[in-house]
Structure 1
């Protein structure tokens, strides 16, 4: 066994213990100068008072507020201006070739065409009924005119018979016959009117049937409601579409919307028409203006929906991309300070230690506006102040400090 390393380690350990924990005794043992008893007693008695009254050295800097554009920062995403699922309004088999997703379509472009089946025949039948009803109208009108003429003749004969009967030149039988002729003529007029009304009703019914079948035939061609891109393939050739089945989805991406949700503490700083910019996760930067700010908060998050419309002519922005949105608002006075100057008080409030009147330390709460590579922009502070940037963690409110401003500049 090697004894020398063990002995050396023991000696070094004893020396370290004596130097750290028994320094005074070791100094006396080694013959160090003794402090006079009166001086030692004076130092022990006055030491705490001197330590309590001596200012603590800190490093501070002068800061002057500057007006900055205090943008409201919102996390959001892109959203298509319009998106519609185009669906069938009638049933039938697809007889048109499909359009593939990603294709651009103009407004009114044909997406799906359905087989008309017997619809054209039904339309032709309705038109034939209308033609037949229209042909009966002149005949019914002629019968009505003839019946009215006979009614006038019967009324004239009845008047003449009554006058002759009053003069004793006509019998009661003749008067009764003329009255019967008048009644028969009136019945003929009513019948002719009914025939004419029936013909006109037939025309109206045929017109209604024609309108139904024409609209049904128009539904056979499903067209794009606006210009945009196909998000899905249209229905395949030969497939059967039922009423309400999906033909295809069309989205409009130019312009495109940026959608975010603003907390209620920031909503009053935003106004419709305000300029806004955004950066997508891919690094693309875009600009636009606020087009919508909700008046009703989300009941769960207590946030307000905001929409910004931006140009997307090259369609490079897609629906659903995450973006960081900055919405401009009125300028705010703020101080640009090192991030290391921030501290917390006993309640956990974020703030600064500043040089107060009488060379005393004082805590001031702040509102963080923006974090940059040059420092942090802080608001809710006086226009000018002296900020402790080194040593703020070692002082509390009311503690005397000795600030040094040498070599410190904003």
Structure 2
């Protein structure tokens, strides 16, 4: 067997092994280094990558303004006074000098009842009074002369006073036959007809007073402390008419169902053009406050359901700020609870949350 060919073959195999496997190891080592460098490059953010991660929004710079903060409530008109007059005596109606819708003055007769025997009772009481007066005079003269006891004088005086009371009662019974208006106003319904028999407690007529007139509304418990006695009030009726007055009453007890408080204002109604029960939008003047005028679309809710807006915070990040809705207008909504000067996100606020980096573009207020 020849040893030289065998050694040559083994040497050739060894050289080939080294060439093949050593080259793969070097390649793997070089590749690992390239991947590490690539990973380092990826972990190092560039300015271009950082700017691309910010969310573009449109914001509006807003400054707080002093506004008149009126309390607005829905209400209605109401007669200042309304009373249904009842009969205090029994009798038939012999005269009804007024009709439904008539204007009456204080003291005008609305219903007259048949006097019956009441006039006769008055004459009898007057005669008894005259007799009692004469007996008292005679008893006093006799007592002065020592011819009558003091008890006789006392008895005569008691009879005289009883007769006086009888006359007064008879006169009052006649006065009750004429049912009179307690104040100036209008007859609201049909008065009792002639010939109708009235008993004590039977209605004669209803009188309402419309000048001055009352405006009645119900204020929410959150706003009732902003209403004060004598505060100016303006109201717009459903007909378009406008009236002005002042607060005359603020309720102290809340409605058990709505938790609102009754307020009343008095307004002039000299021509009686305003009727009882008309719908009215009532504006009650209250102390002014500072607020921001924002587009209504800028309002949003946070995860807790709080009403607010998102503003541009320090470092151009989005921040949620709760607000109080003061009132709305044709130009937007007035809100309170923000700093005097702030930048409110008006477009894109629903796509960002607190702490998100933003790229704001500013626009002028009112555009």
TM-score scaled to structure 1, two decimals?
0.75
- Whole-Å separation in 2 of the counterparts to 1:93 and 1:295: 45
Q: CA deviation at 1:408?
A: 5.7
Instruction: Say which is worse superposed, 295-304 or 124-133, in terms of deviation.
Output: 295-304
Pick the structure with more strand per residue.
2
1:208 and 2:165 matched: yes
- Listed as ranges, the gaps of 5+ residues in structure 1 are 1-37, 150-188
**Aligned match of 1:332:** 289
TM-score scaled to structure 2, two decimals?
0.83
**Aligned match of 2:109:** 110
Q: Is the 8 A contact 2:97 2:109 kept in 1?
A: no
Q: CA deviation at 1:315?
A: 1.2
**Cα 1:235–1:409 shift into 2, 3 Å:** closer
- Whole-Å separation in 1 of the counterparts to 2:189 and 2:361: 69
Q: Is the 8 A contact 1:60 1:408 kept in 2?
A: no
Q: Is the 8 A contact 1:98 1:236 kept in 2?
A: no
**Aligned match of 1:35:** none
Q: CA deviation at 1:139?
A: 3.6
**1:176-205 Cα distance to aligned partner (Å, 9 max, x none):** xxxxxxxxxxxxx43xx4443333222111
Q: CA deviation at 1:323?
A: 1.3
**Aligned match of 1:261:** 218
Q: Is the 8 A contact 1:129 1:202 kept in 2?
A: no
1:70 and 2:69 matched: yes
SS at match of 2:95: coil
Q: Write out aligned runs for 1:119-138 (5 A).
A: 119-138=118-137
1:54 and 2:11 matched: no
Q: Is the 8 A contact 1:93 1:239 kept in 2?
A: yes
Q: Is the 8 A contact 1:276 1:289 kept in 2?
A: yes
- Whole-Å separation in 2 of the counterparts to 1:226 and 1:396: 66
Q: Which runs of 4+ in 1 moved over 6 A?
A: none
Q: Is the 8 A contact 2:95 2:112 kept in 1?
A: yes
- Listed as ranges, the gaps of 5+ residues in structure 2 are 1-34
> What is the total number of aligned residue pairs between the two structures?
327
Q: CA deviation at 1:145?
A: 5.0
Match of 1:389 among 346, 350, 355: 346
Instruction: Say which is worse superposed, 211-220 or 272-281, in terms of deviation.
Output: 272-281
SS at match of 2:263: strand
Pick the structure with more helix per residue.
1
- Whole-Å separation in 2 of the counterparts to 1:90 and 1:64: 72
Q: Is the 8 A contact 2:81 2:208 kept in 1?
A: yes
- Whole-Å separation in 1 of the counterparts to 2:141 and 2:320: 107
- Whole-Å separation in 2 of the counterparts to 1:245 and 1:97: 15
**Aligned match of 1:178:** none
- Whole-Å separation in 1 of the counterparts to 2:77 and 2:191: 25
Match of 2:337 among 371, 377, 380: 380
Q: Is the 8 A contact 2:75 2:281 kept in 1?
A: yes
